[in-house]
Amino acid sequence: MKKRLFRRQKGFSLVELVITIIVIAIALTAVLLALDAAASSSANPMAVTQAIAIGEAYLEEIQSKSYTPLPCPAPCTRSNYNDVDDYNGLVNTGAQNQFGQPIPGLGAYTVAVTVAPTTFDGAPAKLISVNVTRGNLADITLASYRLAL
Protein backbone atom coordinates (compact mmCIF):
# COMPACT_ATOMS: atom_id res chain seq x y z
CA MET A 1 0.00 0.00 0.00
CA LYS A 2 1.09 3.39 -0.82
CA LYS A 3 1.43 5.85 1.92
CA ARG A 4 -0.22 9.18 1.30
CA LEU A 5 1.64 12.24 2.33
CA PHE A 6 -0.51 15.05 3.62
CA ARG A 7 0.96 18.42 3.41
CA ARG A 8 -0.05 20.96 5.94
CA GLN A 9 -2.06 23.68 4.25
CA LYS A 10 -1.36 27.31 5.01
CA GLY A 11 -3.89 30.16 5.16
CA PHE A 12 -6.92 31.38 7.09
CA SER A 13 -10.23 29.75 7.47
CA LEU A 14 -13.39 31.73 6.80
CA VAL A 15 -14.17 31.90 10.53
CA GLU A 16 -10.77 33.34 11.35
CA LEU A 17 -11.14 35.95 8.61
CA VAL A 18 -14.58 37.06 9.83
CA ILE A 19 -13.37 37.35 13.44
CA THR A 20 -10.35 39.40 12.31
CA ILE A 21 -12.59 41.79 10.34
CA ILE A 22 -14.88 42.27 13.35
CA VAL A 23 -11.96 42.98 15.71
CA ILE A 24 -10.43 45.51 13.28
CA ALA A 25 -13.83 47.21 12.79
CA ILE A 26 -14.31 47.61 16.56
CA ALA A 27 -10.80 49.00 17.02
CA LEU A 28 -11.18 51.38 14.08
CA THR A 29 -14.51 52.65 15.43
CA ALA A 30 -12.94 53.39 18.81
CA VAL A 31 -10.04 55.27 17.22
CA LEU A 32 -12.36 57.31 14.97
CA LEU A 33 -14.61 58.23 17.91
CA ALA A 34 -11.56 59.44 19.86
CA LEU A 35 -10.39 61.52 16.89
CA ASP A 36 -13.88 62.99 16.48
CA ALA A 37 -13.99 64.02 20.14
CA ALA A 38 -10.56 65.62 19.87
CA ALA A 39 -11.43 67.45 16.66
CA SER A 40 -14.72 68.79 17.99
CA SER A 41 -13.08 70.33 21.05
CA SER A 42 -9.88 71.52 19.36
CA ALA A 43 -11.33 75.00 18.71
CA ASN A 44 -12.05 75.53 22.40
CA PRO A 45 -8.43 76.16 23.55
CA MET A 46 -7.89 78.58 20.69
CA ALA A 47 -11.10 80.48 21.52
CA VAL A 48 -10.14 80.69 25.20
CA THR A 49 -6.63 81.91 24.35
CA GLN A 50 -8.03 84.58 22.03
CA ALA A 51 -10.61 85.63 24.64
CA ILE A 52 -7.84 86.07 27.23
CA ALA A 53 -5.74 88.13 24.80
CA ILE A 54 -8.74 90.34 23.97
CA GLY A 55 -9.55 90.82 27.68
CA GLU A 56 -5.94 91.69 28.49
CA ALA A 57 -5.86 94.27 25.68
CA TYR A 58 -9.04 95.93 26.97
CA LEU A 59 -7.72 95.90 30.56
CA GLU A 60 -4.42 97.43 29.51
CA GLU A 61 -6.21 100.16 27.57
CA ILE A 62 -8.52 100.98 30.50
CA GLN A 63 -5.69 100.90 33.05
CA SER A 64 -3.79 103.50 31.03
CA LYS A 65 -6.60 106.08 31.50
CA SER A 66 -6.97 108.59 34.31
CA TYR A 67 -8.49 107.50 37.63
CA THR A 68 -10.13 110.88 38.15
CA PRO A 69 -13.33 111.41 36.16
CA LEU A 70 -12.82 113.94 33.36
CA PRO A 71 -15.41 115.32 30.95
CA CYS A 72 -15.52 113.18 27.81
CA PRO A 73 -15.16 115.28 24.65
CA ALA A 74 -18.15 115.20 22.31
CA PRO A 75 -18.98 112.88 20.74
CA CYS A 76 -18.14 110.60 23.67
CA THR A 77 -16.97 107.48 21.83
CA ARG A 78 -14.39 104.93 22.84
CA SER A 79 -11.68 106.72 20.89
CA ASN A 80 -12.33 109.79 23.13
CA TYR A 81 -12.53 108.00 26.48
CA ASN A 82 -10.11 109.70 28.87
CA ASP A 83 -10.85 108.13 32.26
CA VAL A 84 -11.61 104.71 33.70
CA ASP A 85 -15.28 105.51 34.40
CA ASP A 86 -16.00 106.17 30.71
CA TYR A 87 -15.66 102.43 30.05
CA ASN A 88 -18.37 101.41 32.53
CA GLY A 89 -21.17 99.67 30.63
CA LEU A 90 -19.17 99.32 27.41
CA VAL A 91 -20.39 96.38 25.32
CA ASN A 92 -18.72 95.54 22.01
CA THR A 93 -20.18 92.87 19.78
CA GLY A 94 -17.05 91.87 17.96
CA ALA A 95 -13.69 92.81 19.47
CA GLN A 96 -12.57 96.32 18.58
CA ASN A 97 -9.32 98.23 18.79
CA GLN A 98 -8.91 101.32 21.00
CA PHE A 99 -10.33 103.52 18.24
CA GLY A 100 -13.57 101.53 18.09
CA GLN A 101 -12.74 99.82 14.80
CA PRO A 102 -13.59 96.10 14.43
CA ILE A 103 -10.66 93.69 14.47
CA PRO A 104 -10.88 91.29 11.50
CA GLY A 105 -11.50 87.67 12.48
CA LEU A 106 -12.67 88.49 16.00
CA GLY A 107 -16.27 89.40 15.22
CA ALA A 108 -17.65 86.37 17.09
CA TYR A 109 -16.47 87.69 20.47
CA THR A 110 -18.53 89.92 22.75
CA VAL A 111 -16.78 92.17 25.25
CA ALA A 112 -18.55 93.72 28.25
CA VAL A 113 -16.85 96.08 30.72
CA THR A 114 -17.92 97.14 34.19
CA VAL A 115 -16.17 99.64 36.45
CA ALA A 116 -17.18 99.82 40.10
CA PRO A 117 -15.81 102.01 42.90
CA THR A 118 -14.34 100.03 45.77
CA THR A 119 -11.38 100.01 48.14
CA PHE A 120 -8.20 98.02 47.87
CA ASP A 121 -6.21 97.59 51.05
CA GLY A 122 -8.03 100.61 52.51
CA ALA A 123 -7.26 102.87 49.55
CA PRO A 124 -9.90 104.11 47.10
CA ALA A 125 -9.87 102.06 43.93
CA LYS A 126 -11.98 101.04 40.97
CA LEU A 127 -12.59 97.42 40.11
CA ILE A 128 -12.46 96.90 36.35
CA SER A 129 -14.05 93.69 35.05
CA VAL A 130 -13.80 92.66 31.42
CA ASN A 131 -15.96 89.73 30.31
CA VAL A 132 -15.19 88.18 26.92
CA THR A 133 -17.48 85.52 25.45
CA ARG A 134 -17.65 83.53 22.25
CA GLY A 135 -20.79 81.42 22.17
CA ASN A 136 -20.29 78.28 24.23
CA LEU A 137 -16.56 78.06 23.40
CA ALA A 138 -15.26 80.77 25.70
CA ASP A 139 -16.50 82.79 28.67
CA ILE A 140 -13.62 84.58 30.37
CA THR A 141 -13.73 87.36 32.96
CA LEU A 142 -10.59 89.30 33.80
CA ALA A 143 -10.55 91.79 36.64
CA SER A 144 -8.10 94.40 37.85
CA TYR A 145 -7.97 97.28 40.31
CA ARG A 146 -7.14 100.83 39.27
CA LEU A 147 -5.84 102.68 42.30
CA ALA A 148 -6.01 106.43 42.83
CA LEU A 149 -2.43 107.65 42.67
> For residue 32, what are the contacts with CB-CB under 8 A and spacing of at least 6?
none
3-state secondary structure of 3: coil
pTM score, whole prediction: 0.71
| Residue 12 domain-assigned (yes or no) | no
> For residue 37, what are the contacts with CB-CB under 8 A and spacing of at least 6?
none
Structure confidence at residue 136 (pLDDT): 84
pLDDT in tens, the chain (149 residues): 556 666 676 777 888 899 999 999 999 999 999 888 777 666 688 889 999 999 999 999 999 999 998 898 888 888 899 999 999 999 999 999 988 899 999 999 999 999 999 998 889 999 999 999 998 888 999 999 999 87
Residues paired with 128 in a beta bridge: 115, 144
Structure confidence at residue 3 (pLDDT): 60
- Residue range(s) defining the domain that contains residue 94: 44-147
Number of structural domains found in the chain:
1
| Residue 30 domain-assigned (yes or no) | no
